[in-house]
Amino acid sequence: MQNFWEKLKKPILCLAPMADVTDAAFRQIIAKYGKPDIFWTEFVSADGLAHSLAREKLLIDLKYSENERPIVAQIFGSKMENIRQASMLCKELNFDGIDINMGCPDKSIEKQCAGAAMMKDPKLAREIIRAAKEGGGGLPISVKTRIGYNKNEIEIWIRELLSEDLAALTVHLRTRKEMSDVPAHWEVMKRIVEIRDEMKVGTLILGNGDILNLEEAKQKVKETGCDGVMLGRAIFGNPFLFTNKNVLSEVEGQIPLDSTRDEMYVPSISEKLRVMVEHTKLFEKILGGYKNFAIMKKHYKAYVNGFDDAKELRMKLMEAENAQQVEDITSNFLKEI
């Protein structure tokens, strides 16, 4: 089986999986307006996927479309058998890879000895990776983690992970204790790459934390020697984040770009709001029966920002209950500007 990671051009620029943000609807929008090199699903509980009743509810989180390839299913859990079964399901669902979350600081996840809690038990972490490999039947396995739990532990923790011959390792450059409260420690990345090289393993290393655009991402790759960068919060309100990586065709509803362009694409207010409405309609169409419409409201805060009368528009959108209302409110606003 072909490992898609080996085909990627460097620097690898990708979008971080974020719960209740990078769902199937938002990924569709991003795939259209500026596609990253890889997509991840939101993280999904392996315990849930291994349970026949819970699985039915969780399958919506593993929904994807062909235009999102390569797409990686991100799972979390600490029970080897459930990780194996969840990985078998990911293989059946035809994902391009499986990623194990070993960095999420959410307390409810940590209570399950999963997410960031994995850093406290490297032996279990390695067993979990092996179980994913068994279940995944040849799919490339990657891990997303942090530099340590309470302090920088890369000399031990990163070595443990790299001993399992991962296809890729994404490191959020903060500890669990730091959450996102301090600047990401990009100065540590050089050493992580050195550890990989000393161990003579082929694992691709990606950095994550505080990167706001592609230029900054490329600069970090140059400075640290890592293979790529994962961008997260920079995507909020800006589905055009990865736009300069692709020449968008002059199709109605898409934004034509000059192929030589290599700076940030700055959409007009009307473009941004048009995409917001499109995103809302897609959310309703794909996820309406499964997820609360209120999830869209965190996106409105980001889309509707930094222009005259944004606050008033935002307040109206927060009252909206469906896509039609959002479209009407937005159309009225655009007529007035």
Query: According to the model, what pLDDT value does residue 258 have?
Result: 43
Number of structural domains, the chain? 2
How high is the mean pLDDT of the chain? Answer: 93
Q: Are 279 and 131 in the same domain?
A: no
Q: Are 294 and 237 in the same domain?
A: no
Q: Are 119 and 162 in the same domain?
A: yes
Give the domain CATH number at 45: 3.20.20.70
Q: Are 181 and 286 in the same domain?
A: no
Q: Are 212 and 293 in the same domain?
A: no
* β-bridge partners, 73: 98
Of 180, 210, 245, the residue at which a domain comes to its end is 245
Instruction: Provide the residue range defining the domain that includes 277.
Output: 269-336
20: DSSP letter: T
Q: pTM above 0.95? A: no
Does residue 24 lie in a domain region? yes
| Given 90, 104, 113, 226, the catalytic residue | 104
Q: Is the confidence at residue 254, as pLDDT, over 70?
A: no
Query: According to the model, what pLDDT value does residue 265 have?
Result: 76
Does residue 259 lie in a domain region? no
Does residue 264 lie in a domain region? no
Does residue 256 lie in a domain region? no
Radius of gyration of the chain, Cα coordinates, nearest whole angstrom? 20
Taking residues 154-175, what's their average pLDDT?
A: 98
Q: What percent of the chain has pLDDT over 70?
A: 93
Does residue 257 lie in a domain region? no
Annotated active-site residue 104? The verdict is yes
Q: Can you tell me which residue has the tokens 């002059």?
A: 250
Which range of 52-61, 154-163, 240-249 scores highest in mean pLDDT? It is 154-163
Taking residues 37-53, what's their average pLDDT?
A: 96
Q: Are 21 and 63 in the same domain?
A: yes
Q: Are 17 and 141 in the same domain?
A: yes
Query: Amino acid identity, residue 79?
Result: K
Residues 64-78: pLDDT tens digits?
A: 999 999 999 999 999
Residue whose C-alpha is closest to residue 156's, from 187, 121, 184:
121
Q: Are 286 and 224 in the same domain?
A: no
